[in-house]
Amino acid sequence: MKEQKWIHEGLITESLPNGMFRVHLANEDQILGYISGRIRRSLIRILRGDRVKIEISRFNQGTYNLQTSQQRFGRLDNF
């Protein structure tokens, strides 16, 4: 059985070492996220101010998986 994941939209506010980022979510929360494996392999750059989608597992303990808006879900025009 595949685990349940929630998807949220956010804005990159700070870039940290090792592909980690601080993300400001639409509901005013600040979380710590990391780059997904596909983005890391494709050498896609994520910069401050980029809009992203976040996959949150219910078993996760504080860090979350980032997906770029262009890579998997299409562009976020009205964010």
CB 54 within 8 Å of CB 8 = yes
Greatest alpha-carbon span in the chain: 36
Residue 30, SS3? strand
CB 46 within 8 Å of CB 52 = yes
The CATH number assigned to the domain holding 43 equals 2.40.50.140
Nearest to 71, CA basis, from 47, 49, 42: 42
* Residue range(s) defining the domain that contains residue 51: 5-70
pLDDT surpassing 80 at residue 23: yes
- C-beta neighbour count of 35 within 10 angstroms: 21
Any domain includes 78: no
* 61-69: average pLDDT: 58
Q: What is this structure's pTM?
A: 0.67
Q: pLDDT per residue over 37-62, tens digit each?
A: 777 777 778 888 888 888 776 666 56
Q: Higher model confidence: residue 76 or residue 4? A: 4
Any domain includes 79: no
Q: What is the pLDDT of residue 47?
A: 84
Q: What total of structural domains would you count in the chain?
A: 1
